[in-house]
Amino acid sequence: MPDVNLAGKRALVTGASRGIGRTVAIRLAAAGASVALNYLRRTSAAEEVAAEIRAAGGTCALVRGNISAPDQVPRIAAEAIESLGGLDIVVSNAATGVLRPALEFTPKHLQVTMETNAFALLELAKACVPHMPAGGRILAMSSLGAARVIPEYGAIAASKAALEALVRQLGAELAPRGITVNAIAAGVVDTDALEHFPSRDVIFEMTRQRSPAGRLVTVDEVADATLLLCSPLAGAITGQTITVDHGYSTIA
């Protein structure tokens, strides 16, 4: 499959050991970028992604660390920059969250969810932007839940809405530097994240029935959008949330 040419670009992808982040990292590497793979717990899964990239002739480094911890993010960014020799692309993909009815959230649930899913983007931007040249790209993974009701999704929904607001703000603030900042809001993708949803099978079936395409979004389709926004042709797109859902969210 022909991709955009990202030869010479250096990318940090958070949450690259599994799911969407894994495929985004592999596809960035296939497009010619060298990639720093951040992950939290699953070292063997991250090592498998690295092995796959290297077997295909790509260049990558592993950077373990918790992106929800403000004191770890500068070290994660520094390791990525040192191992790649600079940084052009940051994909803030890692996410977590507690699923339950809104009235059952504790302050701790909300804090962890907001720190991982929204504030990590700001900490990453603070640590990475001073090292990024004009033409740089920052991407954040949002979801349809930022603007829609999904059962038990309230904390993550709030974090994704905050994320999209931060993307808008950063997009304007970083425009003078020639760095774009955008979010991708994907429809339902079959990853490990969905294993925690109490109604996973119902969500899959409902999505297939309601989606104009009659199927779920794939990890490769999210990676396609990521590469599109990393392309030099996307230099005037910033502060936006791009929906990748086969038109699911347009149906009344």
Active site members: 153, 160
Determine which residue in the list 28, 99, 183, 186 makes contact with ligand NAP, applying CB under 6 A. 186
Q: Could you say whether residue 17 binds ligand NAP (CB under 6 A)? A: yes
What residues contact 13, with CB distance under 8 A and at least 6 apart? Answer: 21, 24, 25, 28, 35, 36, 37, 38, 91, 93
Q: Could you say whether residue 108 binds ligand NAP (CB under 6 A)? A: no
Determine which residue in the list 6, 80, 95, 128 makes contact with ligand NAP, applying CB under 6 A. 95
Say if CB 224 and CB 234 are below 8 A apart.
no
- H-assigned helices in the chain: 19-30, 43-55, 73-84, 107-114, 120-128, 154-174, 200-210, 219-230
Which residue number places its CB atom closest to ligand NAP? 19
Determine which residue in the list 6, 9, 13, 14 makes contact with ligand NAP, applying CB under 6 A. 14
**Listed residue (179, 139, 183, 137) closest to 160, CA to CA:** 183
Least distance to ligand NAP from the beta carbon of 222, Å? Answer: 7
* Per-residue mark of binding to ligand NAP, 51-90 (x: CB under 6 A): ---------------xxx----------------------
Least distance to ligand NAP from the beta carbon of 53, Å? Answer: 15
Cα distances (angstroms) measured from residue 224 to each of 84, 180, 205, 235: 23, 17, 24, 16
Binding site for ligand NAP (CB under 6 A): 14-15, 17-21, 38-42, 45, 66-68, 93-96, 116, 141, 143, 186, 188-189, 191-194
